[in-house]
Structure 1
Amino acid sequence: MPSILLFGASGLVGSHLVLALRDHYPDLTITVFLRNKNLDVYLYETAKVDKVVHGTFDETDKIVALAKTHDIVINVGSSWDVPLCEAIVEGLKQQPNGRKRSLIHMSGTGNFVDKRWTDGAFHADAKVWSDDDPEDMKIINPEMLNGGPDTVVLNAGKDSQIGTYVVFPSGIYGEAAGPVPALGVIQLVFREKAKELGFVPYVGEGSAIFNCLHVKAITPFMLLLLGLALQEDSPQGSVYERCFIIGGQEMPWKTASGAFARSLHAEGVISSPEAKSVKLEEAGAGELPMLMASNMPFVSPRAQRLGYKHEQSEP
């Protein structure tokens, strides 16, 4: 049976995915790579993985060696780390000619932002990205939020030696399935922004569109991609036709900020449960202010044809 190397098993998405692999593909050989050395008993006894390898993402030689010996690599560990993706790709490339090899990479819809407007308002003319339009996927570049690793993965798949599959989920929220209380990226950046400013901001009137989905909506789609990788003798279509956008509930950024403000206030992180309108230049550092200031609409016909269905969950 094929072997899988999983990055991110202790994270928000990975904690759900590693259990789903146990339940849906019990005969596959699963290796997990992670830094945390306190999860071995849980991973072996509960998640039923076959091997745990400890290391950090900057140990590229170790990652290359692992990727070289596994049929399928699933990276839900980082959508930001270019050297990690380069090491994974290098290891897969070093496998013998003719051996089937696949890479399933989780990115994010933070790439798909229309920066023509940064006033925090809804704009009906904002670009709507589609995973069914290869030209939209061809725009992906290292200057985008997650574009560096995405570019590495897409380039690796262009010669068809590696079957690449890239999924772009929107803002992920929810609770981890394992013993580590891991946060999704959007949860983390809201928390850090609240600590930085002392309140939760939104930009301008806050009517710009944000999209979010519950972590439990992602795992079934990742299993669909794995099924695709397992059944295809060789990658079908271009690398851009193996890109999938998945999302959930659309809401104004003001609504999202208000929900986070109430949650973080209840935890004692900030003193007020009310979100506050600010100008873009007053929203501080990092990627969150630009996301809040802009619109990020998209559609997902390719993911839906593969079987993606979003079931509404309360944010």
Structure 2
Amino acid sequence: MPTVFYIGATGYIGGAVLVDLIKAFPNLEITAIVRNPDHFEAIRGLGVQVVQGAFSDVDLITSRAREADITVNAGDSDDVGLNTAILAGQKARVVEDNKPPAVLLHTSGVAVFMDGGNEGKHDPNNKAWNDGDEADIRAITPQMLHGQVDAPILQASEAGYTESYIICPAAIVGPPTGPVPAGSYFIKFMTQLVLAFKKALYIGEGSNVFYTVQLDDVVDLYRRASPYSRYYIGVSTPHSWKHIMTVFGKLEDGAAQSVSISVIPPPASLFLGASQNARGERAKALGWEPRPVVLEDWAEEGITSALAKLQ
């Protein structure tokens, strides 16, 4: 069986994907990099070998990625140093070791396709990014959010140094299923944002769109990834920021207010001012059928969990 180097085993997405991967392929030889010794037992309990280290341990990351047949990065979609180390190891495997390219399964995010707006307005006539159109994926640049990692992966894959598969999910909700309890980053982000301002705020008319998807549907998309196509946009339900803020406004007085973008500091302003327009045709061609996301169904439990972690 192939050897796997796993990054992100203790995270919300990574933990869920790891559990599913082991169920589907119980004989895989998996080694996970884990920083906190308190989590070693939980990971080893899945039959996974553990090597202690951090994402900043460049030599360790490079050597492990060079040795493994498959590297899974479900740990950080924006860490340029981590990604550079992975690609360096996989390139050395091909160029110096004369081995076939290893697989890289990487987690990105649909925020790469934000339109850069700052007025809180959605224009349905703006470009709709589509994973089924190769030209759209080739148009991803390092200047785009997450693009500083996605673009080099795509380039390394085209050069023949890696066989990459990029899963690009929307904001994820749903109960954690990994070996170490970890909550939705989106729920945590929204909770902190509303608490910080003591108010739920949106920009302008608040019609700008932000996509969501359920965690187990994202796991299902990982399972369906196929060699004939390499970049998969995983989106389910678009929500206006006005609606999102109305849901999370229950943290305070329940009201959501429109403000100028000047009131919202970065990085939150990057999300609250812009809109998304994305299509997951390639993912759906694989039979992927995500369920709709009703934020009200997930927000209360997720907020409670996020608040507990913030205390």
Same fold, judged at TM 0.5 (above): yes
Deviations 1:29-56 (A, max 9, x none): 11111212112222122x222x111211
Query: Aligned letter for 2:22?
Result: R
Q: Alignment partner of 1:57: what SS?
A: coil
Aligned-partner Cα distance in 2 for 1:261–1:181: 25
Question: 1:290, 1:144 → 2: CA distance?
Answer: 11
Report the counterpart of residue 48 of structure 1 in structure 2. Answer: 47
**How far apart are the structure 2 equivalents of 1:126 and 1:82?**
29
* Contact preservation (8 Å) 1:103, 1:163: yes
Does the CA contact (< 8 Å) of 1:11 and 1:77 recur in 2?
yes
Distance in 2 (alpha carbons) for counterparts of 1:203 and 1:135: 31
Unpaired runs of 5+ residues, structure 1, are 266-270
SS at structure 2 position matched to 1:277: strand
Equivalent positions of 1:96-135 (< 5 A) are 96-115=97-116, 117-135=117-135
Aligned-partner Cα distance in 2 for 1:99–1:6: 19
Contact 1:175 1:181 in 2 (8 A): no
1:111 is paired with a residue of what secondary structure? helix
Tell me how far 1:175 sits from its aligned partner: 2.6
Deviations 1:107-129 (A, max 9, x none): 011011122x4211222222211
Q: Distance in 1 between matches of 2:193 and 2:201?
A: 8
Gap regions ≥5 residues in structure 2: 296-311
The question of 1:255 aligning with 2:221 is answered no
- Equivalent pair of 1:12/1:175 in contact (CA under 8 Å): no
Please give the root-mean-square deviation of Cα atoms over the aligned residues, in Å.
1.7
Q: Secondary structure at the match of 2:192?
A: helix
Moved more, 178-187 or 65-74: 178-187
User: Does residue 276 in structure 1 map to residue 257 in structure 2?
Assistant: yes
Per-residue CA deviation, residues 182-201 of structure 1 (Å, 9 max, x unaligned), is: 23332333233234323232
Q: Which residue of 1 aligns with 2:60?
A: 62
State which of 257, 278, 287 in structure 2 corresponds to 1:298.
Answer: 278
1:125 partner letter: N
- Tell me the equivalent position of 2:269: 289
Normalized against structure 1, the TM-score is what?
0.87
Deviation at 1:63, TM superposition (A): 0.6
Percent identity, aligned pairs only, is 28
Q: Which amino acid aligns with 2:218?
A: I
Q: C-alpha distance in 2, partners of 1:304/1:135?
A: 18
| Contact 1:203 1:277 survives alignment (8 Å) | yes
The structural deviation recorded for 1:179 is 5.6
**CA positional deviation for 1:71:** 0.4
Question: Aligned partners of 1:44 and 1:124: how far apart in 2?
Answer: 48
Find the aligned partners of 2:140 and 2:101 in 1 and give their Cα distance: 26
User: 1:110–1:18: structure 2 CA closer, same or farther, 3 Å change rule?
Assistant: same
Q: Deviations over 1:178-227 (max 9, x none)?
A: 464423332333233234323232111211122101111111111222xx
Matches within 5 A, 1:177-256: 177-178=177-178, 180-225=180-225, 228=226, 236=228, 241-256=229-244
